[in-house]
Structure 1
Amino acid sequence: MPHDNPSIVVFDGVCVLCSRWVDFILRHDRQHRFRLAAMQGAHGRRLLAAHGLSPDDPASLLLVQDGLGHTDTDAIGRILAQLGGFWRIPAVLLRTVPRPLRDALYRWIARHRYRLFGQRSSCRMPDPAQAHRFLD
């Protein structure tokens, strides 16, 4: 059942790790709280720019919720918490680590994501059954 006011997750559509994160969200977001936008698409680029992130050199995940932008581990924690059930536990544990430390690790992984996890030659295409969850 679709959620009335879905939040938007802007992700790197050519990053293998980011695509796995999208698969995770799609698998566990049973209430359809989240819509997805690749940062290479028009919606994703516009949202990145509107929240002070470079659409040409994105190094952060962006969660747009109720008009506010959340990045890095803050975005991850908020997504996990809203998935509910077991996923609230890692969200709480994440918050026990000081944000400067967890965001520094996140940014290191983000800067090296292609080398560590790989890069697709083209943007991730949604499965036809889940295409309604994607903005571009």
Structure 2
Amino acid sequence: MSHSTDDPKESAIVLIDGVCHMCQGLTQFIIRRDPRGVFRFASLQSEIGQELLRQGGMSESSIDTMVLIENGKYYTRSTGALRIARRLRFPWSLSYVFILIPLFLRNLVYRWVARNRYRWFGQSSECMIPTPEIRRRFLP
């Protein structure tokens, strides 16, 4: 069983598109590979998600990217995804090596996937409802 860290330097917030099936699957993927409970989650569409976007100076309609908030800094697209991977259990942490690929190339691939995610994976009319064990990893 994982525990959620209370140390702000250890914890991070991931904002995801709450109606995207791919994003919901990635959230579950992260949770299963984050035994220390470093990552907490919120939907980009939620009240807290919208407030966090405003605090970071981002558009409240920024649902074309996931957002990682670490130590008060905001990371989006491929950089955010790779920074998440870096903190996951081995061997997933090794994928951080892809940070060496130029940003414009990484984000080209990221944007292509983001543009097609609903067509490939579908979407819900509402955000996923996490199990009680996972619910504590989501911001209110």
- Same-fold call, TM > 0.5? yes
Bigger shift: 112-121 or 25-34? 112-121
CA shift at 1:57, angstroms?
4.4
Q: Match of 2:128?
A: 124
Amino acid aligned to 2:55: A
The residue matched to 2:136 in structure 1 has which SS?
helix
2:58 paired with 1:91:
no
Q: Match of 2:109?
A: 105
Q: Match of 2:4?
A: 2
Q: Check whether the contact 2:15–2:67 (CA below 8 A) recurs between aligned residues.
A: yes
Higher helix share: 1
* Identical-pair percentage: 37
The residue matched to 1:85 in structure 2 has which SS?
coil
TM-score, reference length from structure 2: 0.89
Gaps of 5+ in 2: none
Residues in 1 aligned to 2:56 and 2:121: alpha-carbon distance in whole angstroms: 26
Query: After the TM superposition, which residues 1-136 of structure 1 pair with which residues of structure 2 at under 5 Å, given as runs?
Result: 1-3=3-5, 4-5=7-8, 6-92=11-97, 94-136=98-140
Gap change, CA 1:76 and 1:111, over 3 Å in 2: same
Amino acid aligned to 2:132: P
Residues in 1 aligned to 2:131 and 2:104: alpha-carbon distance in whole angstroms: 36
The residue matched to 1:70 in structure 2 has which SS?
strand
Deviations for 1:52-103, whole angstroms, at most 9, x for unmatched residues?
Answer: 33223421110001100011111111111111421121111x2132110111
Amino acid aligned to 1:111: R
